[in-house]
Each structure stands twice: as structure tokens, then as C-alpha cells.
Amino acid sequence: MTRAEWIEVAVIGVMAPMSWLVWPILSSPTPLWQIVLGLAVLLLLQSLMRDVAIVLRARRSPSNEPHKEGSCFCLESTVGATGILAGAILAGLGSSTRIAIGRPEFFLAVAGTMALGFILKDWVISWKPFGVRREKDHVNLIVRWKPRR
């Protein structure tokens, strides 16, 4: 693991227990759409922080790697955007389902979401050809909806 990955694991190790302290502030039972939306936002915020760190690191020492083009998208962002869409749909439908979340469940949801973000961070989903592949940091990847000829 790289130094940046160790730092991210340490941040997850600090943030997850902090959720234990934040739990009393949240209302319970909570609407399902708020839970889905909140976890998706957490996943996307984690991704954003990592991307900002990658960009800042790239500014300090520019990469000599050539830019690659691909018909693909970050899997972590895809999962996060899907969660945002699902939460918005549930809210739009007026979903009244409420879920009582205890402190341990809230802690596990936050820790699990952040761990999922860490696991998915280097994966992209491609559509030409369809599949999922590992693309480390994918900072030099230029997304193309259609490949150039």
C-alpha cells in the first residue's frame, strides 16, 4: 500500500468512530431516502477528497505518463451517483418508510460505506468493451463516450 492509502485508512479509522459520537444528533427513526442519500453523499465526498489529494500531488510532481482515453467511468462515482438517484427517487415518491437506526448500525453503515469507497477507488466500469477493470488513480484517464478513430 502507498503512503496515501495508509493515510486514507487512518482517516477511515478516525471518521468511523466519530460517527459513534454524531449519532445522538440524528433523528430516529429516519426516512429510508435520507439514509440512502446520506450514505451516497458520504461515498462521493470521500471520493472527492481523494481526487483533490491526487490533483494536489500531481501538481507538485507532474506525471510523465501519457494520457489514456477510454470509454469508462469511475466505479465508485457510479455507485455514489446511483445512490443519489435512488435517494432522490425515494424522496420524490414520498417514501414514508422509516428505519430505526441504533448507534452500532450507524457506525457500521458509515464504516462500511467508507471501506467500500476505499475498495472501489481504483476500479472503472467500461462500456466498450463492457467490463470492470483496475485503473490505478485514473488521473490520466480521459473519458470518451465514443472511441476516436
Give the CA distances from residue 38 to residues 74, 109, 113, in Å, rounded to whole numbers and listed in that order: 20, 10, 10
DSSP 8-state code for residue 24: G
Q: What is the pLDDT of residue 21?
A: 85
Render pLDDT for 70-96 as a digit per residue (tens, 0 to 9). 777 888 989 999 999 999 999 998 877
Alpha carbons 52 and 114: distance in angstroms, whole number? 17
pLDDT tier for residue 129 given thresholds of 50, 70 and 90: confident
Assessment of whether the complete model's pTM goes beyond 0.75: yes
pLDDT tier for residue 137 given thresholds of 50, 70 and 90: low
Helices (H), the chain: 3-22, 32-60, 75-92, 103-120
DSSP 8-state code for residue 69: E
Look up residue 68 and give its three cell numbers.
Answer: 489514456
